[in-house]
Amino acid sequence: MSASEQEILEGLAEIINEETGLDPAEVAAEKSFTDDLDIDSLSMMTIVVNAEERFGVRIPDDEVKNLTTVGDAVKFIQSQQG
């Protein structure tokens, strides 16, 4: 079963909160992981692994660099859910 964009966004917000302590309310689709949320590459890798487990998707390393905003990640995860 695929999750809605809202469900994915909320899930990512929880994952980001666990990894960085950032308020989930700060995590919005238009926010940039690096510029707005100040997430470094190490934290990003942890977030990716946790998102893969949570949503049952594969996010290849060469795809991660294209996911600059939270919205990019949401759309990619949704596209991978079949």
Residues forming the active site: 40
* Other Cβ atoms within 10 Å of 61 Cβ, number: 8
Distance of alpha carbon 6 from its chain centroid, rounded? 12
Name the token pair of 72: 């990019």
* Cα–Cα distance measured from residue 11 to residue 16, given in angstroms and rounded to the nearest whole number: 9
* Cα–Cα distance measured from residue 30 to residue 18, given in angstroms and rounded to the nearest whole number: 20
